[in-house]
A = this chain, B = another copy of it.
Amino acid sequence: MRETVKMHAFQAINAALHEAMEADPKVLVFGEDIADREGGGVTGATIGLSTKFGDMRVKSTPISEQAIMGAAIGAALAGYKPVAEIMLMNFTTVCMDMIFNHAAKLRFMSGGQSTVPITIRTLTGAGWQTAGQHADHLEGWFAHAAGIKVVAPSNPAEYKGLLLSCIQDPDPCIIIESAGTLFIPGDVPVDQGPIPLGVARVVQEGTDVTIVSWSSMVVRSLQALPILAEAGISVELVDLRTVSPWDRETVLASVAKTGRCVVVHEAVRSFGPGAEIAATVNEELFGQLKAPVRRLGAPYSPVPFAKVLEDAFLVSVDEIVAAVTEVAGQG
């Protein structure tokens, strides 16, 4: 059995950054407040890096997200592997040009002459009552943008393994650190290495219903599992891990087996990433489904402040249980 250490997601991220910087002198880490002089990041994810690797490779920046992303892109063009932090996912909106028009497209627009192997680390997710401008799950936008990979881990070991892969990847990656996943300690194998991008993880095998989820909603789905098991429903839980490019094979194989599928994500449901998965499952498995593919996501609304509203905004364990139960009863 692999030796493991219990840690939180930020410790796992911190470990991955340390290992990546140690292994490859081209890895750079920067963003607002991330150096030790500033306390090693608001979340502590970067603690110790500047002290260990020096203030040339690890830099706190001004509040200038376009300049941050530009620095990442330019350094990447010159052979570096920058890991840039955009403190919160909503702040990608002030540097979306750099990400979408440049980082994601430069390889293609240059006909393969240029590569932009950057990693964007960004925090988000409802649950902390940070309200309308600090908690959106925008993975659907990035998944719709050709040329950037979208990664959304759900537990500490996965944070470490997926972040390591993002850093090594020859293309731009955005990795989402979501509130609902961050304070649940998990066992991280001492030798936890990179986890391949684009490959889903079957968290639990089952035969009645497939749940496809990622990030914070894997956590909630896991909470739904014992309740569903008790109700006699055998659930196969697939953690997508990489939202784009997503692992169609694993999802389709699972739903081909169960005949039923519920997609659960934190993002707004309407025009959300779950629609792609639902639409694909329907296209590929038409006639083989026992029930319509269900999608659970946030209502069409900004993230609200009041706790009672924030709770209602997020897909609840109860809603997952209800949707899976309903689907299980069909067909």
Residues of chain A at the chain B interface (Cβ within 8 Å): 90-91, 93-94, 96-97, 99-101, 104-105, 108-109, 131-133, 140-141, 143-147, 244, 267-268, 270-276, 278-279, 282-284, 286, 289, 291-295, 300-302, 304
Q: Is the beta-carbon distance between B146 and A268 smaller than 8 angstroms?
A: yes
A271 close to B140 (CB less than 8 A): yes
Whether B144 and A131, one on each chain, are in contact in the complex, defined by CB atoms closer than 8 angstroms, is no
Q: How far is the CB of A238 from chain B (nearest CB, A)?
A: 17
Contact yes or no, B141 A141, CB < 8 A: yes
Residue of A143, A282, A294, A295 with most partner-chain B CB within 10 A = A282
What 12 additional pairs, Cβ within 8 angstroms, besides A93-B99, A93-B101, A144-B272?
A: A93-B97, A94-B97, A101-B132, A105-B132, A108-B132, A140-B144, A141-B141, A141-B144, A278-B282, A279-B279, A282-B282, A286-B292
A286, A291, A295: which has the most chain B beta carbons within 10 Å? A286
With contacts A96-B93, A132-B109, A271-B143 taken as known, whether A291 is within 8 angstroms of B302 at the C-beta atoms is no
Q: B293 contacts A279, CB within 8 Å?
A: yes
| A326–chain B nearest beta-carbon distance, Å | 12
A70 CB, min distance to chain B CBs, angstroms: 12
Pick the contact of A270 from B96, B100, B144 — CB < 8 Å? B144
The answer to whether A294 touches B283, judged by C-beta atoms less than 8 angstroms apart, is yes
Q: Is the CB of B283 within 8 A of A295?
A: yes
Cα(A273)–Cα(B271), bound, Å: 6
Chain B proximity of A126: nearest CB distance (Å)? 13
Name A91's closest neighbour in chain B (CB-CB): B97
Residues of B with C-beta under 8 A to A294: 283
Cα distance A305–B263 in the bound complex, in angstroms? 37
CB contacts (< 8 Å) of A291 on chain B: these are 286
A278 touching B270 by the CB < 8 A rule?
A: no
**How long is the Cα–Cα vector from A275 to B229 in the complex, in angstroms?**
31
Q: Which of A93, A131, A270, A274 has the most CB of B within 10 A?
A: A93
Q: With A and B bound together, what is the CA distance between A93 and B108 in angstroms? A: 19
Task: Give the distance in Å from the alpha carbon of A93 to the alpha carbon of B92 in the complex.
Answer: 10
Q: Which of B90, B97, B295 contacts A279 (CB 8 A)?
A: B295
Give Cα distance in the complex from A330 to B301, angstroms.
38
15 contacts between A and B (CB under 8 A): A93-B99, A94-B97, A105-B302, A108-B302, A108-B304, A109-B132, A109-B302, A140-B144, A141-B141, A144-B268, A146-B270, A146-B302, A275-B276, A278-B283, A282-B292
Shortest A154–chain B CB gap in Å is: 20
